[in-house]
Structure formats: C-alpha cells, structure tokens
Structure 1
C-alpha cells in the first residue's frame, strides 16, 4: 500500500466558503472542538449565519453531566448513533455541580456545597462546552432561596440568553427574577402567590414558565402578563402519582410512574393539548405506555425506583438511578428503544441528563 498523500494546504484554503460550510455540517460533535483549533478562518465559520441556521434546526445532542466536573461528560449523537466524551473540567470543581438546564448550546448549573434537600441558595453558573468557557452569575436582587431555575434564549442573537429564577425573598414572598446576559444584571420581573414549587427544574414553553408544584399540579407563569395559573395533573389520583414534567420540541409532557408496593410497574406519558372549548383551555392526552418487557429491563438497570427524564428534540430520554443506560420514547413514532451502551464501564453516583445544542458563539472571558 502506498503512502497517504496529504493534499496541498493551498487547496484547502482555496475551497469556496459554501463547501467549507458543508464540511462543517457533516462533522460529528466531538470534531467541532478540533475544527475550531485549526485556524482563525475555520473558527470563524462557527459564527456564520449558515452554521447558526443549521444548529437551530438540527437534532440536539444528549449530554450526561456528572456532578464532579473532573470526570468526563458523555454526549450522544442521534444522527450517527455514537457516544463520545467531552470535558467540563474548565468549570471550577472544588464543589459538586448540579446541572439544571440548557439553551442555545449553554448549560446552567448550581455550584453548591452539597445536595441537601429543600430550597437552596447556590451560586449560578452558565457555561459553553464548545468554547470551554463559563461565567459565574452575580448575586440576585431579591431571591434568597431558590425554588426553581431555567435558562432560555433571549433576542435574535445566539450569544444572548436569560436565566429565570423563582424563589423566596427575605420578606417571605415568592418572586421571579431574570438575569439578562446583555445588561449582566438581575431584575425582579414578577411575583407568584399561593404557589409553592418543588425543588426541580423549570421549563420555558411558548412564553410560559412551567414547574411542578408541591400540591400536585403544574404552575404556568405567563412571563409577559405576570399571571400565574395552575393546571391539574393528568389523573385524578395525582397525590399518588410520582410524576416528572418534560418539555421538548414536540411539546409539554407529564411522565407518571405506575407503582405497586413501592415497585415500579411502568411509565405513562401524557401530552398537554391546548383547546378552546369547555371550561378549561387544555387537556391531557395519553400518548404512550411503557411495555411490561421494557419496564422489566429498565428496572434491572437500577437498584431503586428513582428515574430522571429529559426532552431532546422529539424524544424523551429516561435514565434509572445510577444507571448509564438510556431508554428513549420517540414521540413522533410512539416507540420505545434503548440507546447503544457506552463502550466503557462507567458508573457515576450523581449525574444529570440534558439536551445540548451546538450554538457556539457565546464565549465567556
């Protein structure tokens, strides 16, 4: 076999821009980091309108982030059906980190001393895995104890974002604060009465902040109007329903655990459907039920009934406690499937699954 011929560097530099962009479009996620380091010209392609349009319309990746950032994070590419590792060690890792949300390629995290239950006052951090940079947010104006938080895009520029927090103020009222990446400041934007949120993630969907309440309902806070409403759960047996709220490209869903004698028997997926008739302007539609054979396999991957689920594109991904195996419910095809197992034998005690887009223009100094 003859020697591999390396193309002349001039040939690559003379390639038309649209061909370079097509090459960029075909790269798997782990190659983005190497691609950016080649030269300033190639790095600049990530800020092009063409690439941003690709990123906005592409299937997000699934990222598994351990609480200790010196450990590798795992990222799954749905197009190539492959796992890769990426490093988040650029985030200070002297304390455990709890990842809380993602938007436009950015991850929102709590940098906390521990994982005690109850409302907390962690330091919030926003990071970009692609540019390997992060920013620690300043102290909030009014919130002293955080109930829920989320990150969402703001404006038309990919580098802009907003962090929304619902929490308890020093006077005992529940307020909503927003951090704007342009002004780099927090601002109280509203208040919530008669609603106590669970200490879980919060989601943004079509102008609403959505979160699970402690009384067995779903809070919907209209950001523009500052009006709060509470939606009932999909079943009348809400008090005995161990549920998770999920948002993804396909809509808003509730995943309910079917249990018997503290043993998981299955999962049901309901979709939130808005309507204009009747007393309420919404209803819940059952769209999926975990088959018993899949449930048995899901239980074997864990030693407890705890599970997490996250929306990625048009899919809902499930992970059992301390398990590295991911079960996927495809909303578009109503099918249940397992992702390929990660090739290495890894087991992390604390980990969070999140969707990850590739919108790399944000670089924190």
Structure 2
C-alpha cells in the first residue's frame, strides 16, 4: 500500500454537509449559462490570469476539465506565479493561508478564510508519526513522544511524500520546526533533542543534554548546530519563525529563546514575561512577533483573562512585550467554559487573523490584528472525537506543485 493512500475527494467540508437544504445557497440556472463561443476565444494569457485567482480548492476540482488545465495546475510555473501574486500587497485578490489543526489520527482539518469553511484533509498512513511542523505548502511528519530519527515531508494537496535521511545524533526530538528559504523553492528543518544512546538506556541513566541539527533540502543532509541552552525546557507550543529567526516558548519558568539558523546559535530573549502569564503561545503576523496567553492570578480568579502582546523595540537596546488587546469577557467565558486551567492554547496567525483554540473547546476564536475585530469560527471536524492534548495549530499555504519536494 502507498504510504500516502488517500483521495482528494476526501478533502471535504463538514459544515457544507451538515447544513440543511434551506440554508444552502442556490445559483439561478440563468447565471450558469456561459456563452461557449465567447469564452473559447479568450486569449490563453487571459485565461491563465483568471485561473491564477482561483482558490486552491477550485484548482483541485478544475484539473478534470481538460488535459491542458490539468497540466497547468500541476506545473511549478503556475504555482510560482501564484506565489509572486500573493507576495504583492497591492493585488486585488489576496489569498490567505489556512489555519491547520492537526493531531494523531487519520485526518487533519484546515480553516479557509477565503471560503469561510473547514476542509477535512487525510493524513499520510505512516505508523507512529503525526504532523509536527509546516512551511508553505509542505508538512513535516515525525514523533515527538518516542525515539525518532526519520522524518517525512509531504504535500497533502498533491499527495506527495518523501522520506528524509536519518538525523545524525538527535534521536528523541524535543522541538521540531521548518521554514522556507528565501527562494521559496527549498526549505530548512531544525530539530533539537536528546541523543538517548543505547548505553544510557541500559544503565537506566539519562543525561539531559540537547543537540541541534539542521536539514537543508538543497544540500540533502543533516548538519550539527549549536546546542540549546542547558536550562531551557521547551514547552508544547510549536514556536514560530519571524524575520529569519525561530522563536520558542520555554517553561519552568516561562521564557522565550530564539535560534539563528545562519549562525547555528540559540540565545535567550531579553524581554521579561508578563506577570501571572499562563500557557503562552507565539504567532507571527507580517513580520510581527505576537504572544497569546492567559493571565491567571490565584488570589483573584475573577480577573482571569486572555491577552495578546506584541514584542516591540522600546529603545535601541530594549525590547518588551506590549499589550495589544484583551479578549472580551463574553467571548472568554464561552471559550473557556469547558477548558481546564492547565490546557495549552493552540494559536497561529493567518495573515492578519490570529486564531486561538484549545483541544478541549469546540470554539476557535479569531482576532483580526488589522481592524481589531473578533470572530468565532465554526466547530471544526476534529471536535470532539479526534481531539487530544497533542493538538497543534499551524499556518499552511496550500499548493499543488512539487516545488518544495
């Protein structure tokens, strides 16, 4: 059986299936009557320009129209043009990425802000692995709770899968992340973890020492980098890339560390964490480093709230977390109704939208960093039966090309 044995027809939306007929929108037949002679005479360049503006789901559906369109939608050139269009801030059609929710199980789901609905996406059938990171249109699969030296890269839209060479030293991964290189055609993967040697296991003695390895898809092999800080205990938050650096939450006590892949060095962020912060999570939006967290004062439970901060330069050498927004109490009460105090927040920024979820709540709350608007997303297909504490929220940019594989 193919490791990636599934069909694109499984990429369905839950809310489109559960809506009663009375709520569905029907398009009058007269609107569907297109003049074939008129459309057949359009220049190919104009047709391609129109197709470039389609949502990615439509490109998957329209591949069956004709051989020419199928070839176009599968070509790297088409997806490079889409990428360049999306980089242009002045374009009329601005496509956002998807908010990707994943955990262990047979499928993940992604919220499409452009179409305002969830897509259900099957996971590759690889034993003892789950999605642990994302960059652009590709996902990284591995295992963060058991020994893992082999990682996989896949494109869930194209149904392509590639196995990476084994890591050199890291065997028990504590933190894994990936990012696209500047050319957007290649990527890097960074893992930090323990060697967990056989001898240490036999002696029932584990020396807690972390190592860092970097995989570059251009080189095709792993290389060692600087070791993480000895006192840093990585939290469950996946971390984010911002302006070429990787930022990650540490625990006991809470803090933030960053990794420079060019120099291979970890450093501690010299910015005090907000008072009484609990279960913080990081996000990146248009070059801004954002942090979301609960503020919990054990002496006054009535003051509990969720706040949003941004890391800002206060002076030439001083950086600090500056409060941007507080989740309204009515939204907070409904969102936290089924959530325990220790439940981690699952967050990611999708364009200007900051998505906030937990594995225990049916709600996903989105906050727009541009206009300060709050929005409640529909219940996702994973809830409740396919949710667990390993739930991750990632930013995913769907594409059909093999540029990154």
With the shorter chain as reference, the TM-score category is 0.7 to 0.9
Give the aligned CA root-mean-square deviation in angstroms: 3.4
1:76 aligned to which of 97, 104, 111: 111
2:365 is aligned to: 327
Which string of whole-angstrom CA distances, capped at 9 and with x for unpartnered residues, describes residues 309-334 of structure 1? Answer: 11211221111224342101211122
Secondary structure of 2:365's aligned partner: strand
Structure 1 segment 215-254 matched on structure 2, within 5 A: 215-232=253-270, 234-235=272-273, 237=275, 241-254=278-291
Q: Tell me the distance in 2 between the aligned counterparts of 1:130 and 1:276.
A: 45
1:353 aligns with 2:362: no
1:106 aligned to which of 126, 138, 146: 138
Which deviates further from its counterpart, 342-351 or 320-329?
Answer: 342-351
Secondary structure of 1:143's aligned partner: coil
2:62 is aligned to: 35
1:164 is aligned to: 190
2:46 is aligned to: 19
2:351 aligned to which of 297, 313, 317: 313
1:265 aligns with 2:301: no
Contact 2:186 2:403 survives alignment (8 Å)? no
Relative to the length of structure 2, the TM-score reads 0.74
Contact 2:294 2:306 survives alignment (8 Å)? yes
Unaligned runs of 5+ residues in structure 2 are 1-28, 89-94, 198-206
Secondary structure of 1:27's aligned partner: coil
2:375 is aligned to: 337
Which deviates further from its counterpart, 158-167 or 342-351?
Answer: 342-351
Q: Sort the Cα spacing of 1:31 and 1:181 in 2 relative to 1 into closer, same or farther, 3 A.
A: same
2:227 is aligned to: 191
Which string of whole-angstrom CA distances, capped at 9 and with x for unpartnered residues, describes residues 132-191 of structure 1? Answer: 1122222111212222111101241x3311111122345864332111112321111333
What's the CA shift for 1:250?
4.7
Q: Tell me the distance in 2 between the aligned counterparts of 1:344 and 1:177.
A: 33
Which deviates further from its counterpart, 308-317 or 52-61?
Answer: 52-61
What's the CA shift for 1:32?
2.4
Secondary structure of 1:288's aligned partner: strand
2:200 is aligned to: none
Contact 1:248 1:312 survives alignment (8 Å)? yes
What's the CA shift for 1:285?
0.6
Structure 1 segment 24-63 matched on structure 2, within 5 A: 24-38=51-65, 39=67, 40-44=70-74, 47-48=77-78, 49-56=80-87, 58-63=95-100
Contact 1:55 1:358 survives alignment (8 Å)? no
Q: Sort the Cα spacing of 1:173 and 1:341 in 2 relative to 1 into closer, same or farther, 3 A.
A: closer
Contact 2:274 2:321 survives alignment (8 Å)? no
Which deviates further from its counterpart, 280-289 or 15-24?
Answer: 15-24
Q: Tell me the distance in 2 between the aligned counterparts of 1:175 and 1:326.
A: 35
Which string of whole-angstrom CA distances, capped at 9 and with x for unpartnered residues, describes residues 86-130 of structure 1? Answer: x334x1244351x222212111222x3xx75xx753642221122
Structure that is richer in strand per residue: 1
Unaligned runs of 5+ residues in structure 1 are none
What's the CA shift for 1:241?
3.0
2:214 is aligned to: 178
Q: Sort the Cα spacing of 1:301 and 1:248 in 2 relative to 1 into closer, same or farther, 3 A.
A: farther
Q: Tell me the distance in 2 between the aligned counterparts of 1:345 and 1:162.
A: 32
What's the CA shift for 1:195?
4.0
1:92 is aligned to: 125
